Amino acid sequence: MSVHRDSQLDMFAKASPAIAKARGPSRRPPSQPAGSSQEDMARTLEESGNYRILRKLAARPIAPVRRPGFSRLGVVLDTETTGLNHRNDEIIEIGAVAFTFDDDGVIGDVVGIYGGLQQPSRPIPPEITRLTGITDAMVEGQVIDIQALRSLIEPADLIIAHNAGFDRPFCEAFSTVFAGKAWACSVSEIDWSARGFEGTKLGYLVGQAGYFHDGHRAVDDCHALLEILDREQGGESESPFTELYRASQRSRIRIFAEHSPFEMKDHLKARGYRWSDGSDGRLKSWWIEVDEDGLGDELSYLRAEIYRWKEAEPPLVRLTAFDRFKS
């Protein structure tokens, strides 16, 4: 969750009181009864049908003890970086919020928090500072505490990032503590549209859920994502995290349309295939990822529409949460 995300603006207008002679009946709303809470006032505005209120997301405190029954450990993680390429760019901030959950994917409590800045080898690009608010002065002399980070990551059963395909390669390039961990992506492994959300960017999810937060700082984004993952709405039978946890336990299959005819490239692209030039260790071909249940249909499509040979056997790679979202 870094430079590829849209910036988030929380806009508030303050009206200046005006002094004028009354002209006709007053159109001012009745004054709020004395002693009413801010929540009461917000509810009054909402019930009028003329306003939508955004409430500030409050970070969960660290629980003093771990409740029984929540035996698993998850970590919501976010990075801010100097750019998009994990081979050339660097992490300048890491945030991590560790929480417990049970075997059914029900979230328990926050049990650890880490946030740290790191000075990169080159000055931070101006566009990154505009996006994140992180300046060269803020990171000067700063080093991420790898031991503190390790204490959260090593025991984790699952690491969650909002665009794990971006964060995982940066984290694995940064430290071996991330090697061999199971990852889940809260962008691609949750059906947000089925839950009534119009977009998958964190700012959209937070806003549509009725909240706002201080975006584009790593720990703040982690707290915000955890709240959205644990939020059920509209009579849903399970939380977004429960859906994500179940998705992380399923295998997916990456299918490579190796040696597909050049003239079929537009058909493959329209179906959702992506091109790999082979530089990342993958086969040089078009490829797609599908669920186990979708494997038969995809092979039938390739054999009938692309290869036009019913015996075609394109290369397959089975992926688990330990393999997905690697570079």
Instruction: Please give the domain boundaries of the chain with CATH numbers for all domains.
Output: 72-249 (3.30.420.10), 252-319 (no CATH)
Alpha-carbon distance of 175 to 181, in angstroms, equals 12
Q: Of 178, 160, 166, which Cα lies nearest the Cα of 239?
A: 160
pLDDT for res 282: 80
And the tokens for 326?
A: 């690697």
pLDDT for res 290: 94
- pLDDT tens sequence for the chain (327 residues): 544 444 333 333 333 333 333 334 444 444 545 556 888 898 898 899 899 889 999 999 999 999 999 999 999 999 999 999 999 999 999 999 999 999 999 999 999 999 999 999 999 999 999 999 999 999 999 999 999 999 999 999 999 999 999 999 999 999 999 989 999 999 999 999 999 999 999 999 999 999 998 777 899 999 999 999 999 776 678 999 999 999 999 999 999 999 999 999 999 999 999 999 987 778 999 999 999 999 999 999 999 999 999 999 999 999 999 999 998
pLDDT for res 46: 86
pLDDT for res 12: 32
What pTM was computed for the model?
A: 0.82
- Helix 240-248 vs helix 218-229: crossing angle, to nearest 10: 100
Q: Are strands 107-117 and 91-101 parallel, antiparallel or unpaired?
A: antiparallel
